[in-house]
Amino acid sequence: MSHMSLKEQSGCRKLLRLLTLDDLLALKDTVTNRLIAVESTQEAIEAIITYSKDAEELLKRKKVHRDVIFKYLANEGVAILPNSDKHQLVWRTIELWSSGEISRHEKNTVIKDEVGDGLSDLAALGKQFCQWFFSLLNSQNPSQGPPVQDWGPQHFWEDVRLRLLLCTGEQRVDEFNGAQMVSQRLHALAGEERLLFCPNLEGSGLKYVSSPHGLVVVAVAGTIHRDNACLGIFEQVFGLIRSPMDDNRWKIKYVYIKVEAQGAITERQLPCITYDSKELLRFCN
């Protein structure tokens, strides 16, 4: 019978809910040697957990596909490299369940492994936030397969503002207000316009600054692609504030995106942030 901790059992339940019904029932048959009949998804999940030797054995089963584990970890707010293989994902999941850390849905932090109070190490916070945000946004692009993560207004403050500056010969500025509108407009960049954002998270591609009032500004530069073509470069500035109503997690208060089309780009090696700290703080006021 199962030797799983309560934490592993609860993690397995969440993970198994991400399986297709066919895979779930096939997995139940394998684990129970077809000896247990079930009438519902819930019963199938409980049978699988009861008859699995341990969490690792279950995660290594063929029907628990790499993408399912990836999706589970992403939902828990765990930063993972998109090209991690199944073995690495299994190890990361076991590590998550065996550690004392509480997952995002229990604690609801957007950014995992927050460093101290988050302000003491802005570099780690800025990098983790960007990894989380762009993996979330890119996963909404249909060319990336089914979306692995939950995009939505819950990641933004109710009064969030978005400014979108497009430089394609002439300049065009669009503004959007409110969590619903901003969330939809950003989603459309990946979903309808099929853009992929590749942030430069090293050196001059990333800048961060905090204000005395708890606002953290993260600026990142990178390239924008569609299919195999590079369309141009972007600079994106985020204003982040913790939400005491929402278990103190970081939520997005302000977004500024400047996109330069390929034709408008002067020779620059790697995309880098062109704003200084004062300008970055001014954006969010």
Q: Are residues 21 and 152 in the same domain?
A: no
Task: Supply the pLDDT for residue 113.
Answer: 38
Radius of gyration of the CA atoms of the chain, in A = 21
- In which domain, by residue range, is 73 found? 6-107
Where are the extended beta strands (E) located within 71-228? 156-168, 170-177, 196-199, 206-210, 216-226
- Is 1 domain-assigned? no
Q: What is the dihedral of CA 135, 138, 144, 147, to 10 degrees?
A: 80
Q: Are residues 95 and 140 in the same domain?
A: no
Q: Are residues 101 and 126 in the same domain?
A: no
Task: Supply the pLDDT for residue 263.
Answer: 61
Contacts of 140 (CB under 8 A, 6+ apart): 147, 151, 187, 190, 191
* Residue 30, CA distances (Å) to 14, 26, 40, 110 in order: 20, 6, 17, 36
Task: Supply the pLDDT for residue 115.
Answer: 37
Q: 230 is written with which tokens?
A: 């590079």
Place of tokens 């297709």: 20
Q: Are residues 71 and 174 in the same domain?
A: no
Task: Supply the pLDDT for residue 177.
Answer: 96
Q: What is the pLDDT of residues 142-169, one digit of tens each?
A: 877 766 668 999 999 999 999 999 888 7
Task: Supply the pLDDT for residue 148.
Answer: 61
Task: Supply the pLDDT for residue 111.
Answer: 43
Query: pTM of this prediction?
Result: 0.59
Instruction: Examine the fold and report which residue of 53, 80, 107 is the final residue of a domain before the chain moves on.
Output: 107
Place of tokens 């960007």: 130
Task: Supply the pLDDT for residue 100.
Answer: 56
Q: Are residues 129 and 245 in the same domain?
A: yes
Q: Are residues 166 and 143 in the same domain?
A: yes
Q: Are residues 99 and 130 in the same domain?
A: no
Strand pairing category for 206-210 and 196-199 = unpaired
Q: Are residues 79 and 33 in the same domain?
A: yes
Instruction: Examine the fold and report which residue of 107, 135, 161 is the final residue of a domain before the chain moves on.
Output: 107
Q: Give the CATH number, domain containing residue 224.
A: 3.10.450.50
Q: Are residues 68 and 100 in the same domain?
A: yes
Q: Are residues 209 and 181 in the same domain?
A: yes
- Is 200 domain-assigned? yes
Q: Are residues 240 and 156 in the same domain?
A: yes
Q: What is the pLDDT of residues 64-89, one digit of tens each?
A: 999 899 888 888 877 777 777 899 89
- Is 270 domain-assigned? yes
Task: Supply the pLDDT for residue 107.
Answer: 40
For the chain, which residues score pLDDT lower than 50?
101-118, 264, 268
